[in-house]
Amino acid sequence: MKIYNTQTRQKEEFKPVEPGKVKLYACGPTVYNYFHIGNARTFMFFDVVRRYLEYAGYEVTFVQNITDIDDKIINQSITENVPASDVAERYTKAFFEDTAKLGLRPTTYAPKATEYIGKMIGFIRELEKNGFAYEADGDVYFSVDKLDNYGSLSGKNIDDQMVGARIQENKQKKNPLDFTLWKRSKPGEPTWNSPWGEGRPGWHTECVVMSRDLLGETFDIHGGAIDLVFPHHENEQAQAYAQNGKPLANYWMHGGFLNMSGEKMSKSLGNFFTTRDVLEKFDPEVVRLFFLSKHYRSPIDYSPELLEESKSGVANFYDALEFIDFLKIQNPGGKFGKYAQKYYDEFKEAMDDDFNTAKAIAILFELTRKIKSLEIPSDIRNEYAHALVEIGSVLGFFSDLEKKLAKDDLSGKLVEMMIEYRVLFKKEKNYTMADRIRNDLADIGIELLDTKDGTIWKSKRK
């Protein structure tokens, strides 16, 4: 399996630290508002990474943190005149509700920054002891000049960065690129006691401490969208090097943005739709198809028209499955090899090549076409249907298949009984009764289709 590694700017063969196991960390939300559909793109991508790694046989530990202490949360609490913890709790709850609605599987761990303050203080003290941190008036900074390979993840030329950073120069900093490990609190702000006085940890320290605590000192994959490469991930990794001389993660994965008319969707620009609002209009699987149809590193422009297209795409999957007696052929554990094998192989090849979900989705469409080709014998179409559901499930589709396919047990049996009667009437050349059965079934939304293997049926979805 190959993964594009931001660190080396190339696709690399994936070798986990521990054979058969993957430790994955994706930066989670800062909980000061409902998360937008751009954030959802990144969250959903890592949900798919996790699902695929598991399908590929790895045991995955997946951590996504909750940043529940941050300037933005404090500002929101001032605006609303409520405690910062109220804001954080409200939007943490909303985050879990909305990710569940989106069809994201719960992560293995979802650590909150505020539960790790003691460990963060201990970590900053170690950096201080190693000579990488200095205190100035209750704030503690990381000294980037002390670290030889600072800038190696982002490939940024640090001198160029300095020019930009100098504009907002902070007189306390030795180098304008030095970043905050611990921030002195102002009166009324949430605060924790520390060797440097009352304050709170910096964002970059939060993630490095939580990820290493749960996944080990050097873990496999660390991810987010590309906005996090610099400074967030650069600074996380800098702290890890400063503490033990080792990289924080072996593979750094960064997704492209969801844009609005070419510009990054972001809360600060105000050009966003919350995931909540989008899910009012579009089914979670439609959003999933919309995102996964593009490679994760390519930008996507938010487009209601393309979402409408994805809606037809998803409807098409179910439409194909309606014509298959899928519930009957479900065969847990046993794969139907022969005909569908090619598609399983192509799927694996696409996903093993840096998670090419766009190719994987094309395979789902191809299978859908085959399932609907009635000239193909039904046992082969059943096999394709099985592949569609199995591959689709790895990408996070079809989690509610039985509910969505209206063929529940009893009504299914009754429809099949009517089909048998129709066959008998036709044998007796009683076409009046045969047509009546067809028409009466149509009236209740059951459509019959005569194929050379016999009659199949589907019910119009509600």
The yes or no reply on residue 224 touching ligand AMP (CB under 6 A) is yes
The yes or no reply on residue 144 touching ligand AMP (CB under 6 A) is no
CB atoms within 10 A of CB 429: 8
Question: Closer to ligand AMP at the Cβ: 34 or 141?
Answer: 34
- Assigned token pair, 343: 């598609």
| Closest listed residue to residue 20, CA positions, set 56, 64, 66 | 56
Cβ 231 to ligand AMP shortest distance, Å: 13
The yes or no reply on residue 41 touching ligand AMP (CB under 6 A) is yes
SS3 category, 246: coil
Burial of 424: CB neighbours in 10 Å, binned 0-12, 13-18, 19+:
exposed
The yes or no reply on residue 161 touching ligand AMP (CB under 6 A) is no
Backbone φ/ψ region at 355: left (φ over 0), alpha (ψ -120 to 50), beta: left
Question: Closer to ligand AMP at the Cβ: 42 or 378?
Answer: 42
Cβ 228 to ligand AMP shortest distance, Å: 5
The yes or no reply on residue 207 touching Zn ion (CB under 5 A) is yes
Stretch that binds ligand AMP, among 171-179, 258-266, 304-312, 337-345 (CB under 6 A): 258-266
Q: Is 204 in contact with 239 (CB distance < 8 Å)?
A: yes
Cβ 90 to ligand AMP shortest distance, Å: 15
> Which positions from 82 to 101 touch ligand AMP by CB under 6 A, shown as an x/- string?
--------------------
Cβ 229 to ligand AMP shortest distance, Å: 9
Beta strands at 446-451 and 454-459: parallel, antiparallel or unpaired: antiparallel
Q: How many alpha carbons lie under 13 Å from residue 260 in its C-beta half-sphere?
A: 12
Backbone phi, then psi, for 136, in 5-degree steps? -140, 110
Beta strands at 179-184 and 199-201: parallel, antiparallel or unpaired: antiparallel
SS3 category, 372: helix
Cβ 171 to ligand AMP shortest distance, Å: 28
Q: How far is CA 296 from the centre of its chain?
A: 10
The yes or no reply on residue 107 touching ligand AMP (CB under 6 A) is no
Residues 6+ apart with CB under 8 A from 352: 1, 2, 56
The yes or no reply on residue 44 touching ligand AMP (CB under 6 A) is no
Residues 6+ apart with CB under 8 A from 362: none
Stretch that binds ligand AMP, among 23-31, 130-138, 154-162, 328-336 (CB under 6 A): 23-31
Stretch that binds Zn ion, among 47-55, 205-213, 279-287, 399-407 (CB under 5 A): 205-213
The yes or no reply on residue 265 touching ligand AMP (CB under 6 A) is yes
The yes or no reply on residue 249 touching Zn ion (CB under 5 A) is no
Cβ 27 to ligand AMP shortest distance, Å: 5
Measuring CA to CA, how many Å separate 159 from each of 162, 206, 217, 249?
Answer: 5, 27, 29, 25
- Assigned token pair, 101: 């609605």
Using CA atoms, how far apart are residues 177 and 158, in angstroms rounded to an integer? 8
The yes or no reply on residue 228 touching ligand AMP (CB under 6 A) is yes
The yes or no reply on residue 63 touching Zn ion (CB under 5 A) is no
- Assigned token pair, 430: 């009683």
List the single partner that 185 binds among ligand AMP, Zn ion, none, CB under 5 to 8 Å by kind. none
Stretch that binds ligand AMP, among 91-99, 222-230, 242-250, 388-396 (CB under 6 A): 222-230
Interface with ligand AMP (CB under 6 A), residue from 60, 225, 289, 395: 225
Interface with ligand AMP (CB under 6 A), residue from 112, 183, 264, 370: 264
Stretch that binds ligand AMP, among 47-55, 96-104, 136-144, 224-232 (CB under 6 A): 224-232
| Closest listed residue to residue 378, CA positions, set 434, 317, 457 | 457
Binding-site ranges for ligand AMP (CB under 6 A): 27, 29-30, 38-39, 41-42, 224-225, 227-228, 257-258, 264-266
Binding-site ranges for Zn ion (CB under 5 A): 27, 207
